Chain A
Amino acid sequence: MAVLNEEQSMLRDMARDWANEQSPVTAFRKVRDAGEAIGFDPKAFAAQAEMGWTGVIIPEAYGGSDFGYLSLGLVLEETGRTLTASPLGTTALAATSALLLAGSEAQKQAWLPKIASGDIIAALAVDEGPRHDPSKIATKAEKSGDGWTLSGTKKFVAEGDGAHLFVVAAQTGSGIGLFLVPADAKGVSRAPRNMVDARSHAEVRFDAVRLDSDALIGPEDGAALLDQVLDRARAGVAAEMLGLAVQAFDDTLAYLKTREQFGEILSRFQALQHRMAHQFTQIELMRSVVEGALEAVDANRDDIAAKVSLAKATACDTLHLVSREMIQLHGGIGMTDEHHAGFYIKRARVLENAWGNAAFHRERFARLAGY
């Protein structure tokens, strides 16, 4: 655990208590069973907003607390532990980052207070295929009059079903631009995609959507901006993954200490002890790099990209391992829907794919280092 200041410790403790008491895994089960396309419980999200979590990285002038990315990461880790179904990371971290990094004063004033209050949910619409690849964006924004006409289809948009505002990456003719597109704009349609984690991953279609000139965030050739936004989104996802890994491991350890076979508690078998020791080691390494990435973002260091790819690749590998071991070490009970091991491995695989899997980030890490 990173060395935290007093505000961060309080926020972490508050998030942990809330997750344990108000949003345990049984709460996620209810969301899953309800089968709604939005994939979260609006009351739980409202409670999070009420506690100020939607404004953690937003400056006070726009209704936030400006505590920074590590602070929000602590919340995402704690709520990730209990698989809390909420658009918090997507709206209050990923989409918000675009406005914070490059939004005009007018854009910030128009949207940040609403995001901070939880009145609206903003989502990042980037990928157009099943694998994360910002180099394959075909969605087009063409200049028309003094505005833009946007057309294209985004796939697997996290929180796409419940979002009120999309930050859309599109080709402007001079590069990639980011556009603010209200979900109720004419020409926007969405279709839910029912996925293993029972959360929202919508296909969002933009059919000749008319936008004013002030819909563009930052420059018309904003590929570098998109990369910066994605890096923040990736660090946020990695924080949630850390929460999943820690809890999946803790639950597995607790099970090994209660289950008996051959007249012995399973935790006495050395073959299992060493597997747990290995996972514990990997999770410690994962924590260091995930917190390191969030700290790099907060300090606006020049090695954010490398630190984030390190964190995301490590998070993917470690959570992959721990979620598989959770099922294997639970044995048959872990295969049943009644048990929550399945929830963890399902969410884990979705998060592994989100904003680049381990292979994507290893490749990127090598390129950044010049080899």
Chain B
Amino acid sequence: MATAELTNPADALEAFRKDAADWLAANFPKSLVGKENVLATVEGGSDPDPEAVGWKRAMGEKGWGTPTWPKEYGGGGLSFAEARVLQEEMGKIGAWNPIGGMGVMMLGPTLLEFASEEQKQRHIPPICRGEIRWCQGYSEPGAGSDLASLQTKCEDKGDHWLVNGQKTWTSGGQWADWCFALVRTDTSKKHEGISFILLDMKSPGVEVKPIRMISGTSPFCETFFTDVKVPKENLVGDLGNGWTIGKRLLQHERTNLSGGGSLGRGQGPSLSDIAKHYVGTDAEGRIADADLRMRIVRHEMEAQAFKATARRVMLESKSGNISLGSSILKNVGARITQERAELTLEIMGMNGLGWSGDGFNPAELGATRGWLWGKAVSIYGGTTEIQNNVIAKRILGMLDHQ
């Protein structure tokens, strides 16, 4: 048979591994090891390191920041197996992915599925190169968990759309170049009256006001649209199909927000080590506070069960479908993130409640802010309660039954 001459898949993968390692060695500057700033993909850059800029450009041109996206739109065109090899090779030398943000996590996969060919050609390549920061225009003051009650009006003015209204909790809105938004194109229907548009944040009539949070930071904004003109070609999918597209995007968001990635890295000292330091140990080397020790065990066990589930969901969904488990991961990830923060605070005592200044080390101040910031994870991207509704309705079929 003619196919007998074809390369064995395992050999091909090993050949790719060598190519990837060579390319990474030639392009990743060693000085950048340990300098990954995950927020850089969302927040504005403050005098960026020229080496980091070069690394981002190299990865962007190679398409390896979005390794499995199609090559024709600027992605890497790699198989999942190749992407895993790439990740392994990057891990070996401490290289990190400089391409990220909401364009990569949420919008890109959605555009690949729903956008027109022209829209894909225009919007996906800049995401792959990390040139455009996207923000999400979903929530409104009156539309939180009940997102479909959103009111931001989008009127057909013949040669353009006219958008009026207010969005809120716009993550990174003050730094974003573009916004993907759910808007109301029909007031007579709830879900079918919603459309999905792409909006240039530099358009006249767009105003952004950062919101100060309990953690003292302002990662979210209120975004006001006053008579904002949007070109007709910026509607994604059909008129009135925004709810379907928007929900699909939320699935990507929830998968990404569950924290699986960051929990998997095992960064920093373990809770038990922090507890040994602050609380001390007994004669047998156990954390001296027996009650706290058991709660740490419960937390660590749940964190491990979460990681095992994230891995299982990933393996199960390799076939390309989003696993049903993504809804579970969001809630469990939120629970674990918040429990870890609460335990850290408890362990540090008053030192875990410092706000700023002398008397507290950076880890302690970070614990305080992280604890407050972490209250968001069970609220954003669908609250825990909404996720439970989703599980009950879509997975368990508890409303569908007559």
Contact = CB atoms under 8 A, between A and B. Distances in A.
Contact of B396 (A253, A367, A369, A371): A253
Interface stretch (A43-51, A116-124, A240-248, A270-278): A270-278
Interface in A303-327: 310, 313-314
A368 to B, nearest CB: 10
Contacts, number: 112
Contacts of A67: none
B312 A256 contact: no
Nearest to B387: A277
Interface string B304-321: 111011011001100000
Given A273-B389, A280-B396, A371-B293, A288 B312 contact: yes
B313 to A, nearest CB: 9
A284 interface: yes
A257 B401 CA distance: 7
A284 B309 contact: yes
Contacts of A9: none
A369 B389 contact: no
A288 B309 contact: yes
A363 B276 CA distance: 16
A106 interface: no
Interface in B263-278: 272-273, 275-276
Contacts of A292: 308
B300 to A, nearest CB: 7
A274 B393 CA distance: 10
A152 B308 CA distance: 42
Contact of A273 (B312, B328, B392, B402): B392
Contacts of A77: none
A285 B302 contact: yes
Given A273-B388, A274-B385, A281-B332, A289 B304 contact: yes
Nearest to B281: A371
A59 B359 CA distance: 64
A286 B328 CA distance: 12
Given A268-B398, A281-B332, A371 B272 contact: yes
Contacts of A114: none
22 contacts: A1-B316, A253-B396, A256-B398, A257-B401, A265-B401, A265-B402, A268-B399, A273-B388, A274-B388, A274-B392, A276-B392, A276-B398, A277-B391, A278-B388, A280-B391, A288-B309, A292-B308, A362-B301, A366-B286, A369-B300, A370-B285, A371-B293
Interface of B: 272-273, 275-276, 281, 285-287, 293-294, 296-298, 300-302, 304-306, 308-309, 311-312, 315-316, 325, 328, 331-332, 385, 387-389, 391-393, 395-399, 401-402
Interface of A: 1-3, 253, 256-257, 265, 267-268, 270, 272-274, 276-278, 280-281, 284-289, 291-292, 310, 313-314, 362-363, 365-367, 369-371
